[in-house]
Structure 1
Amino acid sequence: MNPTADIETVLGTAASSTRRRLRIAVLLGILLAAAGGFAWYLLSASNQKAVLQYKTEVVQRGDLIIKVTATGDLQPINQVEVGTEVSGTIRSVEVDNNDRIQAGQVLARLDTERLEAQVRQSRAALEMARARLLEAQASVLETRNEARRIRELRKKNLVSDTDVDAVEARLKRAQAAEASARAQIEEASAQLSVNETNLSKAVIRSPIDGLVLERAVEPGQTVAASLQTPVLFRLAENLTQMELHVAVDEADVGNVAEGQAATFAVDAYPGRSFPAHITKVRYAPQTVEGVVSYETLLVVDNSDLALRPGMTATAEITVQSLTEVLLIPNAALRFTPPTAEVEQRRGGGLVGALLPRRPSSAADKRRREDDDSARQKYVWTLRAGEPVRVGISVGASDGRMSEVRAGELQAGTVLIVDTVAKSR
């Protein structure tokens, strides 16, 4: 017998026995942990079911008003920018900010020395043109008489055909000179009209009855109208009626229409609400930092002149009004009993809780949201102290309450909206 071989055999048998015992111990530990977890799961579920308390609200009938919120600013209905079409120096300014004005009232005057000189020059040019016309008319008359005499002499063979042709040519030249003189009169008259118009424009008048919102000119200031008309005054026709321009989000514009009523508030008058109604929803989109909105115009009564142009306002537009409908709180739609949540997450038991789950992708999340919107909604009511799920179909919502269109609910039904406490 080989002593070395015997020792190796004994050592190998001992190592194998140790490994078997280790495997058995690990397996027993796993089984004990699983049994303990399962016992804890059953105990916690039963305890939770026994001590859970709920916050409830009652289904009721009432009115539901759906509103769309939008922000914007107040503007006059008719706002006019008054400028000057002629260049020059402002000689005087006749009005100031906030002054009430009438159509035709003088707002400012320009220095007219240069314009008056241009008018005098044009008048002189017109007189010269008229004088040239008289001269041309006299020449035509003289040449016509001469041509008549030459024709008479030609009949008596006292002059040649060449003499007749020459006088006829002189007559035509005289007539052309007369026509040219008449055209020069028209030209001089038109230039005089232009210069007189420019002179009249040196007196700047209001085109409307209203109020001076802004005066942007001072006496002695030089204005140049060669490239574009400079704005000197900004006028508002009537501030007792104003417009509120708001930006309605593209998600809400489908519910907004002309004639809908609205209310709005401004920071200048906290707690006060002003009425308005929509007159126009414009089709042209406005895109700011990727957000698309549509400008909507509302008419505002401002008889007390409390509102001012440029004020920022937040409007609430009433897009739908329902009366005497079955209403439930939106919190009831969001509520799910904790036990049901655990079951949904664990897949129906301890095994589902222990097994790993595939992470949800964004596409899965969107798909679930679409499915939720397509399927009926569920709420939970209390029956014999136990939460019971009830399927319903919901309609319009104002963000706090929702209309119930179909389902096994009636006014007075108690719905669970939240879990309030646990006691042990």
Structure 2
Amino acid sequence: MAKTDGTGDAPGTRDASEKPDWALSRRERRAKARAAAGEPPRKRRGWILWLVLALALAGGAAWYISGGAERLASLRGEEGAEGEVASDAAPTEAAEPADQVMQLLPSELAEVQPARLRETVKATGSLSPSRQLAIPAEVSARVTEVLVRAGDAVEAGQLLVQLDVETLRNQLDQQRATAEATRAQLRLAQTQLERTQSLVGRGLSPESQLDAGQAEVDQLAASLAAQEKAVANAEESLKHARVVAPFVGVISAREVDPGAYVATGTALLSLVDLSTLEFEAAVPVRYTPELAAGQVVELSVEGVAGRDFTGTVDRISPVAIEGTRMLPVYVVIENPEILLRGGMFAAGRVVLEEKEDALGIPADALREDDDGPFVLKRDGDRVVRQPVEVARTWEAGAVVEIAAGLEPGDVIVAQPLDQLRAGSRILVVGEDQ
């Protein structure tokens, strides 16, 4: 142990007053100045503050740890109590499922009844008249009268346009006159030929005159044949001056007005037959093997609310629409009431296959476990497990055909209600209890 003198300073330790000024630290110089001024030395309390702070932190930590443990213990105790309650209640729930009553909406139940099940494919497209014709002028002439307008319904044989007949009659008269003159010349040439033959037979005329007479008769006969054909053409042209409707329909366009001169082939009117329309539908190409002429198509038409129409597949295109995976299918639709018009948009379904009087249920009603497929069937105020045998699905899997296990009139749960179990009690909203 180090020895101390009477001042209590350890050996080798010198008072600041014994040190020269240059050897004093800043703190020692401040202490020396305070001593020279007669002030008491400043006590060093910084270590006390650090000690207090350390003690406070240690106490706070101890308090937090102690409180956290208590809270943790409290929470664990609550969880344990709840677990005990739950474990005590679980056997009761498992043992008594019938005590639970689940409310069901009428829409969550379905009554099984025989129905027509179908497999269909969606088809969309537009309507067009099955017969439409641009009526042309079949003779060059001036239009004297147009008797119809767009939208007019016409009968077969009804006069639509009248062309100028005066010029046509003059042409016909001229052709007839020319043919008549040639006919007279032919008769005269034939008479002369007969006379020449007689003279040649008696040796009174040379053989060359007989040849010349025969050539003249042949030429006149050929000219008369051509002229008679011209007469027939002129008569036909005169008939074509009356433009009539070739079939019953509606005028869809009027292209000329009275006074216009039209050449042969010029379009005068457009006529459509609306009694039968064609629905050009687009169907995904993957259904091609199942499509066939004669299949029924049920459709609704935009603009004709509340009415459904039925058509028949007439033909199927061998080529898909370019740039798509859709196949054109042409459907014939009868339109006796003329409710439909060309250009209307329609959407419908092609019936690929159907079965009458089959038992079908919604696909959501079918359940399955280790024992096989089943449904929840209503039995009074409970539902019971009813095993079923599935025949096949319809409507792209939305409907399941049941081969065995259900009878007409059975009521089943139609929705996938996972919380509903066999044996559960049910209460149907709105039913009299």
Q: Same fold (TM over 0.5)?
A: yes
Cα distance between partner residues in 1 of 2:171 and 2:232: 11
Residue 314 to residue 413, structure 1, CA distance change in 2 (3 Å): closer
Within 5 Å, which residues of 2 pair with 1:230-269? 230-237=266-273, 239=274, 241-249=275-283, 250-257=285-292, 260-269=295-304
Q: Give 1:406 deviation, angstroms.
A: 6.3
Partner of residue 300, structure 1: 334
Residue 150 (structure 2) pairs with residue 97 (structure 1): yes
The C-alpha deviation readout for 1:216-246, integer Å capped at 9, x for no partner, is 2222334333xxx333223345x4x433414
Partner of residue 65, structure 1: 117
Counterpart contact for 1:214–1:235, Cα < 8 Å:
yes
Counterpart contact for 2:126–2:281, Cα < 8 Å:
no
Q: Normalization by structure 2: what TM-score?
A: 0.57
Counterpart contact for 2:150–2:252, Cα < 8 Å:
yes
Partner of residue 193, structure 1: 232
Counterpart contact for 1:55–1:417, Cα < 8 Å:
no
Partner of residue 244, structure 2: 205
The C-alpha deviation readout for 1:356-413, integer Å capped at 9, x for no partner, is xxxxxxxxxxxxxxxxxxxxx978989xxxxx9x997562322573224569889656
Cα distance between partner residues in 2 of 1:193 and 1:208: 26
Q: Where is the helix percentage greater, Structure 1 or Structure 2?
A: 1
Partner of residue 323, structure 1: 357
Q: Normalization by structure 1: what TM-score?
A: 0.59
Q: Could you tell me which of 212, 215, 220 is aligned with 2:254?
A: 215
The percent of aligned pairs where both chains have the same amino acid is 24
Higher relative contact order (CA 8 A, sep 6+): 1
Residue 171 to residue 300, structure 1, CA distance change in 2 (3 Å): closer
Cα distance between partner residues in 2 of 1:96 and 1:416: 59
Structure 1 residue matching 2:199: 3-state secondary structure: helix
Counterpart contact for 1:101–1:206, Cα < 8 Å:
yes
Which stretches in structure 1 are left out of the alignment for 5+ residues? 1-49, 152-163, 338-376, 383-387
Q: Give 1:108 deviation, angstroms.
A: 0.7
Cα distance between partner residues in 2 of 1:259 and 1:284: 14
Residue 64 to residue 186, structure 1, CA distance change in 2 (3 Å): closer
Residue 398 (structure 2) pairs with residue 395 (structure 1): no
Counterpart contact for 2:277–2:333, Cα < 8 Å:
yes
Structure 2 residue matching 1:251: 3-state secondary structure: helix
Partner of residue 171, structure 2: 118
Within 5 Å, which residues of 2 pair with 1:79-158? 79-112=132-165, 114-150=167-203
What amino acid maps onto 1:274 in structure 2? D
Cα distance between partner residues in 1 of 2:159 and 2:147: 7
Q: Give 1:93 deviation, angstroms.
A: 0.6
Q: Give 1:130 deviation, angstroms.
A: 1.9
Counterpart contact for 1:79–1:236, Cα < 8 Å:
yes
- Matched positions, count: 311
Cα distance between partner residues in 1 of 2:404 and 2:103: 22
Partner of residue 417, structure 1: 416
What amino acid maps onto 1:108 in structure 2? V
The C-alpha deviation readout for 1:43-69, integer Å capped at 9, x for no partner, is xxxxxxx9xxx9996686333532333
